[in-house]
Structure 1
Amino acid sequence: MDGIINCGANLIVWLQNLGSWPVKPMEFFSFLGSEEFYLMVAPAILWCWNASLGLRLGLFLMMSASFNSMFKMILHGPRPYWVDSRVHALASETSFGVPSGHSQNAVIVWGTLAAHFGKRIGWVIAVIVIFLIGLSRLVLGLHFPHDVLVGWIFGGLLLWIFLKISQPLVTWLKGRKTYEQLIAVFAGSLGLILLGLITEWITANFYIPTEWINSATAAHPDVPIAPFAVSGFISNGGMFFGFAAGAIWLEKKGGFSEQGKLWQLALRYLIGLLGVLILWYGLGEVFPRGEEIGPYILRYLRYALVGGWVTGLAPYVFLKLKLASGR
C-alpha cells in the first residue's frame, strides 16, 4: 500500500508542478462534483424540466453519499496532504480519502443523466465530466489516484444497482396506501442512518495516526478533520425521507406540470432556491451542531424539511402562485 501511496503522491506533485494555470479550471470541475452544486441542480431539474428525473437524482445521490461515507470509514485511507508534505492542499476536507466522494457521486449524477437521455453523445459528455471531476481532486491535492479510481468503480456498481431496482421499487410503492408509502421511505431513511452507526461501531478500534492529524492541521488549522463523524448519515437520511415524503404528499394532491413559460420557470427556481437557503442555511445557524442525540435529531429534521420543500411544498407554492399548473 505504501508503494501505491508514494506513486500517487509523485503524480500529484508532478501535476501541481505544472503551474498555477490548471487550478481555477480544476476548482470549477471540483465544484461540479460538490454537494452545493447538486443541491442547486437537482431542484432545478425537478421544478423546471423533469420532476421524476430530479427525484431519482436526489434519492440516488443520498444513497450514494451514505455508502461513500461507509466505505471511507471502513477503508480509512489518508488524504495525500495528510502523509506527504510535498502535496499542497488547495482545499480542505474532513473525511478519509478512499473512495473519492466527488468521483463516486459524479458517476451517479452524470451517469443517471446519460441513462435518461439514452444517447451516445450523452454518455460521451458524462464520461468527460466524470473524468475531469476526478482529475480535479488530484490537482487540488485532495485525493490519490486510487481514491478516484475506487470512487469510479463503486459509483458504477451503485449506479447499475440503482437503475435496476428503482422502477420495480416505484411500482411496488405505488401499489401501497399513502401511510404505507411514508412508513417505507421513513424506514429507508433510518436504514441509511443505521448504516453509519454500524460502521462507526465496526471501526471503533481504529485510531487516526497522529501524523495524519498534525499534517491536516498544518495545512488547514481552522478545519479539524472528523473522519468518523456520523452526522453525514443523519443528513442523508433526513434528506432522503424529506425528498420521498414530499413527492408522495404532492402526488396525493395531484402533482404538478413542470412545463411553463421561461419567466415562470425562472421564478420557480428563485422562489424554490430561496426556500432551500432559508431552511438549509437558516436552520443551520439556529440549530445546535454536534455529535450528540439532540443535534442529530434537529439535523435530521432540518434536512427532512429541505427535502420536503424541494419535492412537495415548493411545487405546491408554485401551483398557488400560478407559476405551474396541475397535471
Structure 2
Amino acid sequence: MNWTTISVNETMFGNSVLEAMHGTFLDSLLGPLSVLFHYLGSTAFFMALVSFIYLGVDRKVGIRMALGLMLAGILNGSCKAIFQSSRPLGLPFAQELGISESSYGFPSGHVQTAVVLYGILFLHLKSNFVKWIGVFCIFFMPIARMYAGLHYLGDVVGGLFIGVLVLFGTELFLKVHPEVLESDFSGVELRSSGRLKSYRLLWIVLTIPSVLLPGEGGAREALHSWEQVVSSSGALAGFGIGILSNRARGLDWGPAKDRISWTVRMGMVAIGILILYVLLGRIFASLFPENPVARYLRYGIVCYYIGHLSPLLLKRMRGGIYLL
C-alpha cells in the first residue's frame, strides 16, 4: 500500500477529518445542532414527518415519501450488514453530546434518508421556505453526523450517493407507474376479479422473505442492521396494502383546510401510533422474545394504520368533514 492509498483511507475512513472539525469558534453552535439532527434523523421523527405530509399536506407527496423512506431503510440496513464497516473509534464526541448508535457505520442512514425525504419535498412542494429547509437539512446532516463522531467522511459520502439513487429510483418508478398515486382503480372491478387480494398478496410476498435474513449468533451491529431491514420491509408491506385499500374504497383527500381539521388528522395518527407502535410493541416484547416475525408484524400493522385505517376513520367521523 503506497502513501496515496494510506492518505485516501485516512481521509475517508479515519479520524483526522472528524477531529479537525472540533476546537473552533463553531463548537457552541455545532454541538447542539448535531444533537438536534441526531433526533431529526430518527425513525420516530421520520414516521411523524411522513404522516404529517401524507394526511395534512399532500397525499401523493406523502406516498412518495413513505415509499422512499422504506426502500431507503431496506437498502441501508442491507448495506450495513453486508459491508460491516465500524463506526469511528477512540473519539469522545458522541459520549460528550450524550448520543450513541448501535449499528454499523457505512452508509450513513441519517444522511441517506435525509436526501430521500427532503429531496422529495424539494421536488414536489411549491413552498420556497420548505425547499430551503430541505436543502439545509441535506447539507447539514453529513456535517452533524461527522461532528458527533458517529460517521466517517466515507460513511456520509456513501449515504449521499445511495440516497440520490433511492430518490431518483423512486421518482422513476412512480413516473413509470403513476397509478400507484391514484385514488381508485379506474375501470377495474376488484370485487369480482379478486385483483385487490392478488395485489395485497404480492406486497407480502415481496417483503416477507426479510424475516429469514440472518439475525442471530452474529455481532450486535449486524443484528441491528438486519432488524432495520425487517422493520422497513414490514412497514412497506403495511403501507402498500393500506394504499391498495384506499384505492379500493376510493379514499382521497386534500390538505387540511383549517386548524381544527389539521389537529383532528394529526391526533388520529398520534393515537394510533401510541397504541399500535408503543403499546403493541411492549405487548409483543412481553409475550414473545425479540424475533423477526414479531418485528415485521408490528411495523406492518402501524403503517397499515397510518396508510389506510386513519383516513378511513376520519372519513367516517361527522360525515368526513375533517378529510375534505
Compared with structure 1, are the counterparts of its residues 12 and 186 closer, same or farther at alpha carbon in structure 2 (3 Å cutoff)? Answer: same
The superposition leaves residues 128-180 of structure 1 with CA deviations (integer Å, 9 ceiling, x where unpaired) of: 21111111111111101111011001111121111101232353895782112
Alignment counterpart, residue 16 of structure 2, candidates 6, 10, 23: 10
Once superposed, what is the RMSD of the aligned Cα atoms? 3.0
Tell me the number of residue pairs that the alignment of Structure 1 and Structure 2 aligns.
300
Q: Is the 8 A contact 1:182 1:248 kept in 2?
A: yes
Matched, 1:178 2:196: yes
Q: State the alpha-carbon separation in 1 of the partners of residues 42 and 92 from structure 2.
A: 25
Specify the alignment match of 1:84 in structure 2.
90
Tell me the residue number matched to 1:221: none
Q: TM-score, normalised by structure 1?
A: 0.81
> Alignment partner for residue 287 of structure 1, among 262, 279, 284?
284
Structure 1 unaligned blocks of 5 or more: 209-224
Query: For the structure 1 residues 290 and 71, does the alpha-carbon distance in structure 2 shift closer, same or farther, using more than 3 Å as the test?
Result: farther
Query: What is the distance in 2 between the residues matched to 1:289 and 1:63?
Result: 29
- 1:273 aligned onto 2:279: no
Residue 103 (structure 2) aligns with: 95
Asked if the contact 1:256/1:319 (under 8 Å) is kept, the reply is: no
- The residue aligned with 2:222 is 227
Runs of 4+ with deviation above 6 angstroms = 118-122, 289-292
Distance 1:281 1:86, change over 3 A: closer
Matched, 1:252 2:248: yes
Q: Give the Cα–Cα distance (whole angstroms) in 2 for the partners of residues 72 and 290 of structure 1.
A: 30
Cα contact 1:46–1:54 (8 A) shared by 2:
yes
Structure 1, residues 289-325: CA drift from partner, whole Å, max 9, x if none? 8997x73222211111101110111111111223546
What amino acid does structure 2 have at the position aligned with 1:227?
Answer: A
Aligned partner of 2:66 in structure 1 is 58
Q: Helix, strand or coil for the counterpart of 2:142?
A: helix
How far the C-alpha of 1:247 sits from its partner, in A, is 1.7
* 8 Å CA contact retained: 1:289, 1:295: no
**Are the equivalent residues in 2 in contact too, given 1:32–1:133 (CA < 8 A)?**
no
Identity of aligned residues (%): 24
Which secondary structure state, in structure 2, belongs to the residue aligned with residue 93 of structure 1? coil
